[in-house]
């Protein structure tokens, strides 16, 4: 046949395929979640997340060492405190679990980039993401404790803070407090489009953050909504967010695409615990090739428009990128 256009010409070898790739991945775009348990000494496997660990304050640098060995230079910290109360006061304690973890990491690895999750669910005895009034989360009162928590993280040496609570106005509240205390240089990564998803189960088991009653649908987004995600991003940007996020990733690739097209800020996606656990379970059952599925799902998130990815597979993905399996 006399065909002028033959797309297969650019698929004939790995060399030309790599040359013509539209989407390119780098270990620099990967962020690894680290769980720090204040009551723990050493390291303990996380039952709900095979291959992941809880680290005690004495061992958190082991997690960082492992990241660096794989070429991963960014993490996001999640804390499990010894004590919880109704207002989550351990979240902003000067010697709290995250504050001490930041100091330990920065003392040994000052150039390792530390992002901190700013929320109340891991610190409240009721498991909700803010201060309760009856059975409802008081939005405006919660802003005060979120800002106080973010400030304590910055004071301990965090490079970036990431509010995940989904309270209205929290980015503005945090920006005002950080700037007023001289931390104008600390960026805010806003969990802007965070959906009330069924994919969070393994994380909640790992972090001990499941709500003791009800659910989080009054503050996290309805999975039916697409345009609302754009509104949430617009509001966070107007309040001073430096980066925005869509969470979860795989079931919201359309939202990632629209946000990437609409906004010029760096866009983060979070491949959450349920996504990771599904791949692990399918692999354990012999149903899928874990390595290939890991690479393909991560690629889909970047192809949709994400600039960076929080993922429990960060280390393995970095290895795959260096090995030329993806990238």
Q: Which helix (H) or strand (E) holds 317?
A: helix 314-322
- State how far the alpha carbon of 126 is from the alpha carbons of 93, 98, 113, 163, 277, in Å: 19, 20, 31, 19, 25
Q: Which of 194, 227, 280, 315 is catalytic?
A: 194
Phi, psi angles (nearest 5°) of residue 162: -135, 90
Indicate the length of the chain as a whole number: 327
Quote the DSSP letter at residue 25: -
Q: Which is the catalytic residue, given 84, 106, 227, 247?
A: 247
Are 46 and 35 contacting, i.e. CB atoms less than 8 angstroms apart? yes
Q: How many CB atoms lie within 10 A of CB 301?
A: 26
Antiparallel, parallel or unpaired: β 308-311 and 30-37: parallel
- Is there a catalytic annotation at residue 217? no
Pull the structure tokens for residue 270: 């979070």
Question: How many Å apart are CA 237 and CA 14, to the nearest integer?
Answer: 41
How far apart are alpha carbons 55 and 100 in whole angstroms? Answer: 12
DSSP string, 182-241: T-TT--BEEEEEEB--GGGHHHHHHHT---SSS-STTTSBPTT-SHHHHHHHHHHHHHT-
Helix (H) or strand (E) segment spanning residue 136:
strand 136-137
Reading the block at residue 173, the tokens are 């509240």
Please indicate whether residue 247 is annotated as part of the active site: yes
Count Cα neighbours of 215 within 13 Å in the Cβ-side half-sphere: 11
The residues annotated as belonging to the active site are 194, 247
């Amino acid at each position: 046949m006399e065909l002028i256009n033959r797309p297969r010409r650019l698929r004939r070898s790995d060399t030309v395929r790599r040359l013509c790739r539209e989407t390119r991945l780098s270990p620099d775009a990967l962020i690894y979640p680290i769980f720090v348990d204040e009551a723990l000494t050493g390291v303990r496997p996380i039952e709900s997340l095979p291959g992941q660990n809880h680290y005690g304050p004495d061992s958190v640098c082991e997690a960082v060492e492992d990241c660096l060995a794989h070429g991963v230079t960014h993490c996001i910290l999640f804390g499990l405190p010894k004590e919880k109360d109704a207002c989550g006061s351990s979240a902003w304690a000067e010697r709290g679990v995250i504050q001490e973890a930041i100091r330990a990491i920065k003392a040994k690895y000052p150039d390792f980039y530390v992002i901190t999750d700013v929320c109340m669910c891991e610190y409240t005895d009721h498991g909700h993401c803010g201060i309760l009034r009856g059975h409802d989360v008081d939005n405006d009162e919660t802003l005060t404790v979120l800002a106080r928590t973010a400030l304590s993280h910055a004071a301990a040496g965090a490079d970036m803070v990431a509010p995940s609570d989904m309270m209205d106005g929290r980015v503005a509240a945090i920006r005002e407090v950080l700037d007023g205390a001289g931390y104008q240089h600390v960026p805010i990564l806003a969990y802007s489009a965070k959906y009330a998803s069924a994919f969070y189960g393994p994380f909640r088991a790992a972090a001990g953050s499941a709500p003791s009653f009800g659910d989080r649908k009054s503050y996290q987004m309805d999975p039916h909504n697409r345009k609302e995600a754009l509104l949430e991003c617009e509001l966070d940007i107007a309040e001073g967010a430096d980066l925005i996020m869509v969470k979860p990733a795989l079931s919201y690739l359309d939202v990632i695409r629209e946000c990437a097209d609409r906004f010029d800020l760096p866009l983060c996606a979070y491949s959450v615990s349920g996504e990771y656990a599904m791949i692990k379970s399918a692999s354990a059952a012999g149903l899928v090739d874990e390595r290939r599925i890991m690479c393909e799902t991560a690629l889909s998130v970047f192809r949709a428009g994400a600039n960076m990815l929080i993922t429990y597979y960060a280390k393995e993905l970095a290895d795959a990128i260096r090995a030329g399996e993806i990238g």
